[in-house]
Structure 1
Amino acid sequence: MSALVCVARIGAAHGVRGAVKLWTFTEDPFAVRRYGPLSTKDGRRQFEIAQVREAKDHLVATFKGVATRDEAERLNGIELYVAREKLPATDEDEYYHTDLIGLAAVTTDGDALGRVLAIHNFGAGDIIEIAPLKGPTMLLPFSNAVVPEVDLEGGRVVIALPQEIEGDDEGDAPSTGRPRLVRKAQEGGDP
């Protein structure tokens, strides 16, 4: 069975004709229409988008077979998935979060460091979260300087540890494993 990637989450009902708020986790919010039917993680239910329009910070969508507010309200909170192979190919130094999560993290000397737990972006650039073999979780910039190599086929990322490492704070957001693209920042370039 193919790996599934979460591309959207259904929110609250919108109006009285079966529309819902739709929170997408794709670079282009309207890309969810291009993947065909979306399914629940267990694959038991499928949803086909009939109409979609942009709203302030989300989409408003209707699904085929959902015509009333009551039906729409029952969908609140459902995450929608597609098969990994339906997602477009990535460019060089560009990765889907889902492809990085779980990779082994090793130092530039080849010593085992831990595993990639998540990729975050709190507004100042992408951060790679490493769950080390021992010690606190590490949050590091996802840049060429700190992550000089990503070897998806080999199942690892190489980490050039900076002099000081900030640990995980209790208030950090949990991993969502979303399929947004993350691009490694070039040295001296914008994050």
Structure 2
Amino acid sequence: MGSTKNDNLVLMGQIGAAHGIKGEVRIKSFTENPLDLAAYSPLLTNRANQTITIKKARLQKNMLVAVLEESKSRNDAEALNGTKLYVPRESLPQTEDEDEFYYTDLIGLKARTPDGEELGSVAAVQNYGAGDVLEIRPAKGPTDLYPFTKQSVPTINLAEGYLIIVPAVEVIVDDDEAFE
């Protein structure tokens, strides 16, 4: 099972460049503590019939450097570059309280305004470098992006399958007056 066609898989990391000549690889971990990624081993991948087993890992700057059972040489390590690492959602621990959740649990939630207007559903949680953003897919048209902050998204109700988004107030500037 290497396929990611199962919607119940959560992306946990991605293998990057080879490290050294003995088959070690760099891994970008998406876990809160990067070293925790090894605890989920063996990991499913986006490659057919391939799993990855982390034998040893150490933190180097913001990346893991790992010894993998599947990588014995630099050539093996180079061949794994770009491999995405997944675990089934049910393998992740339950969250402690109602204000804690996994981003994957937000996908598919209905998005509405405080007045009850339907905005669409959560298609993805993105981060382009300036913070997390919810991508909302309306019934028609292109997706909309909303900042994923407590101010913009004050309510998340996983049990009932919705979240509330407070859209930002639009400011309209008359172009003729803008630079007088």
Identity level (%): 47
Find the aligned partners of 1:28 and 1:158 in 2 and give their Cα distance. 30
2:100 matched to which residue of 1?
A: 94
3-state SS of paired residue (2:40): coil
Relative contact order (alpha carbons < 8 A, sep ≥ 6): 1 or 2 greater?
Answer: 1
1:81-111 CA-to-partner distances (Å, cap 9, x unmatched) read 1111221222332221111122221122222
Name the CA shift for 1:62/1:27 in 2 (closer, same or farther; >3 Å).
same
- Structure 1 residue 8 and structure 2 residue 13: aligned? yes
State whether structure 2 residue 161 is matched by structure 1 residue 158.
no
Residue of 75, 88, 97 corresponding to 1:70: 75
Of 148-157 and 55-64, more deviation after overlay is shown by 148-157
Q: Tell me the distance in 2 between the aligned counterparts of 1:36 and 1:12.
A: 19
Q: How does 1:27-176 map to 2 (within 5 A)?
A: 27-41=32-46, 44-90=49-95, 91-134=97-140, 137-164=143-170
Q: Secondary structure at the residue paired with 1:105? A: strand
TM-score, normalised by the number of residues in structure 1: 0.75
* Structure 2 alignment gaps of length 5 or more: 1-5, 172-180
Of Structure 1 and Structure 2, which has the larger fraction of its residues in helix?
2
Secondary structure of the equivalent of 2:104? Answer: helix
Instruction: Evaluate the alpha carbon distance shift between residue 142 and residue 65 of structure 1 in structure 2; reply closer, same or farther with a 3 A threshold.
Output: closer
Mapped contact 1:4–1:41 kept (Cα < 8 A): no
Contact 2:43 2:86 in 1 (8 A): yes
Give the conservation status (yes or no) of the 8 Å contact 1:2–1:84. no
Q: CA deviation at 1:68?
A: 0.7
1:2–1:43 distance in 2 versus 1, CA, 3 Å: farther
Please identify, of 117-126 and 30-39, the stretch whose mean Cα deviation from structure 2 is larger. 117-126
Q: Does the CA-based 8 Å contact 2:11-2:87 persist in structure 1?
A: yes
Pair member with larger Rg: 2
Aligned equivalent of 1:180: none
How much is the aligned-residue C-alpha RMSD, in angstroms?
A: 2.3
Rounded to whole Å, the distance in 1 between the matches of 2:36 and 2:13 is 10
CA–CA separation in structure 1 for the residues paired with 2:49 and 2:152: 41
In structure 1, list runs of 5 or more residues that go unmatched.
166-191
Paired with 2:70 and 2:47, the residues of 1 have a C-alpha distance of 20
Q: 1:43-95: CA deviations, max 9, x gaps? A: 72111101111112211111114211111111111101111122122233222
